[in-house]
Homo-oligomer: A and B are copies of this chain.
Amino acid sequence: MSDKAAPLAEHALLLSPDDDVAVALRDLPPGLRLRHGTVSMTVTAAIPQGHKLAVRALPAGSAVHKYGQVIGLTSSDVRPGDHVHGHNLAMGTVEQTYEFGTARVQLPVAPLTRTFEGFVRAGGAAATRNYVGIVTSVNCSASTARMIADQFRGPIMDAYPNVDGVVALTHDSGCGMVPTSEGGQLLRRTLRGYAAHPNVGALLVVGLGCEMLAVESLLDDLPAPADTLVERLVIQEQGGVRATVRAGITAVRNLIEQLDQRTRSTVPASKLILGLNCGGSDGYSGITANPALGHASDLLVAQGATTVLAETPEVFGAEHLLTRRAVSEEVGKRLLDRIDWWQRYVQAGGGTLDNNPSPGNKAGGLTTILEKSLGAVAKGGTAELTAVYEYAERVTASGFTFMDTPGYDPVSVTGLVAGGATIVCFTTGRGSVLGTKPVPTIKIATNTPMYERMRDDMDLDAGGIATGDATVEGIGERILDEILAVASGRVTASEDLDLGRDEFVPWQIGAVT
């Protein structure tokens, strides 16, 4: 151990400049001397990697800041260099009051210079891909839809360089439910969201004929761009699977020839709608990839674009921080309404919406529910919250927004894409292999060993933040560059692997009868 005090940044990560605690980047031994600005400190007891180190004196009862946010109160006097965890940090009896718009951050004004190469659709939306989408009204038409799409994979598509593919969007539902029920409406909204998506240049809807969700109910007054080409097929009318596949192949061949006439042109970054998501999280998620993605979200919002946070159960416990960022009480209250819905929903099934740190989380250094949820919310940066959407609801606002979805990856991302997200960024610690046709998903590793191990499946590595080789801001800027390149056509890892059909999973709620 050196006698000289080392800079704090070599051993621990301060997530926000004024934080009271830093995150140990490796196991810190007692006696280690560190300096942070004018403060010198000595580590007083062993601090495991990922755990918190006090960087200033915090008398008992002090608010403790991490991510620039209060994560709890000290329950005893804390000295600089002390390990901060359950033994000296608690949620306290602080009432969680909901304030609206009291923490709105004015992002630094940026020159609106960033652009990408998109497909400009009638009405002005900018697509990032140019797909034929085969939407199914019911599980009974899933196999037929796939058989049609399977004819348009591989070398045959080389003749259509401006078409990204033909994707069968199949699902398990569409009958055995009441169409006017909450679950029936949710499914219809999700399917119509994909049908109207700008990345779906041409649409083929395939149904069986006796299902609950009739093909026409998916197309009535569909808010798709006026230049979306639309075809429909009903198996019982066509005379079975074989006849429908034959008719579908003819229809799609005709559609891709027309779609291939469309080309990319330069559009401002403000046209992007970015979905923010995470899955297979680990101890690094909240300190590397998530804050870096939050920075990219802020940069994109400063360009006039839209970003959409989601995964309500993972935000639970930190929702009061989002309401403070809300542009209005109405927007903040919409979020609280959804949290109420979730509490009722989960309780009706005999469960609880418990986001408290698990024993594994605690061993990893997370002390309070707030601290845990902050790690998830970090993906949303600091911009003000301009709108709150229900699952699969069409996203129309600019700026940083929120959509109510489960945390479960394929269901959450399906909601975001149904809402109109044209690109998704997905952070992962354990290693997700998600793809999300017809929209590209950029997968960001939270740690370098996983990035190296799953090189084929990852697009970016944020692990350097934890080793001191990169900064949150630096990785955030790289994420923005990647977003614009991928929006312009650069192939992601999951696209290269041809993933993203089976990951279309509409949220199912309510009884299946």
* A497 and B407 form a contact (CB under 8 A): no
Residue A255 interfacial (CB < 8 Å) = no
Residue A356 interfacial (CB < 8 Å) = no
Residue A67 interfacial (CB < 8 Å) = no
Interfacial chain B residues near A146, Cβ < 8 Å: 502
Stretch of A155-163, A169-177, A473-481 lying at the B interface: A169-177
* A209 and B512 form a contact (CB under 8 A): no
Interfacial chain B residues near A202, Cβ < 8 Å: none
Residue A29 interfacial (CB < 8 Å) = no
Most buried by B among A172, A350, A408: A172
Which single member of B143, B313, B455, B497 contacts A433 (CB below 8 Å)? B143
Residues of chain A from 285 to 325 with CB closer than 8 A to chain B in the complex: 313
Which single member of B139, B236, B432, B512 contacts A502 (CB below 8 Å)? B139
Chain A interface main SS type: loop
* B236 and A431 form a contact (CB under 8 A): yes
Residue A434 interfacial (CB < 8 Å) = yes
Residue A181 interfacial (CB < 8 Å) = yes
Interface readout for A3-23 with B: 1 if CB under 8 Å, 0 if not?
000000000000000000000
Which single member of B349, B351, B408, B454 contacts A236 (CB below 8 Å)? B454
Residue of B nearest to A500 (CB): B143
Interfacial chain B residues near A139, Cβ < 8 Å: 409-410, 502-503, 505
Residue of B nearest to A239 (CB): B453
Residue A30 interfacial (CB < 8 Å) = no
Number of copies: 2
* A349 and B510 form a contact (CB under 8 A): yes
A212 to B285, CA, bound (A): 19
A351 to B346, CA, bound (A): 17
* A239 and B454 form a contact (CB under 8 A): yes
Chain A residues close to B by CB (< 8 Å): 139-144, 146-147, 170-172, 175-178, 181, 208-210, 235-236, 239-243, 280, 313, 345-346, 348-351, 353, 406-411, 430-435, 453-457, 497-503, 505, 507-513
Most buried by B among A171, A350, A408: A408
* A433 and B235 form a contact (CB under 8 A): yes
* B172 and A505 form a contact (CB under 8 A): yes
A409 to B512, CA, bound (A): 11
* B243 and A456 form a contact (CB under 8 A): yes
* B243 and A430 form a contact (CB under 8 A): no
* B513 and A346 form a contact (CB under 8 A): yes
A275 to B243, CA, bound (A): 28
- For this complex, 11 residue pairs linking A to B, each with C-beta atoms less than 8 Å apart, are A140-B432, A140-B434, A143-B433, A143-B500, A172-B505, A176-B406, A239-B453, A240-B453, A241-B456, A408-B512, A507-B512
List the 7 shortest-distance A-B pairs measured between CB atoms, nearest first: A176-B408, A142-B502, A210-B430, A240-B454, A240-B457, A240-B456, A172-B505
A497 to B243, CA, bound (A): 11
Which single member of B147, B171, B242, B513 contacts A408 (CB below 8 Å)? B513
Distance from A312 Cβ to chain B, minimum over Cβ atoms (Å): 9
* A512 and B411 form a contact (CB under 8 A): yes
* B511 and A431 form a contact (CB under 8 A): no
A239 to B350, CA, bound (A): 38
Distance from A424 Cβ to chain B, minimum over Cβ atoms (Å): 15
Interfacial chain B residues near A172, Cβ < 8 Å: 171-172, 410-411, 505, 508
Distance from A287 Cβ to chain B, minimum over Cβ atoms (Å): 19
Instruction: Evaluate whether A345 and B433 lie within 8 angstroms (CB atoms) in the complex, with A146-B502, A175-B408, A241-B497 already known.
Output: no
* B408 and A170 form a contact (CB under 8 A): no
A454 to B242, CA, bound (A): 9
A306 to B219, CA, bound (A): 45
Distance from A509 Cβ to chain B, minimum over Cβ atoms (Å): 8
Distance from A237 Cβ to chain B, minimum over Cβ atoms (Å): 9
A138 to B455, CA, bound (A): 22
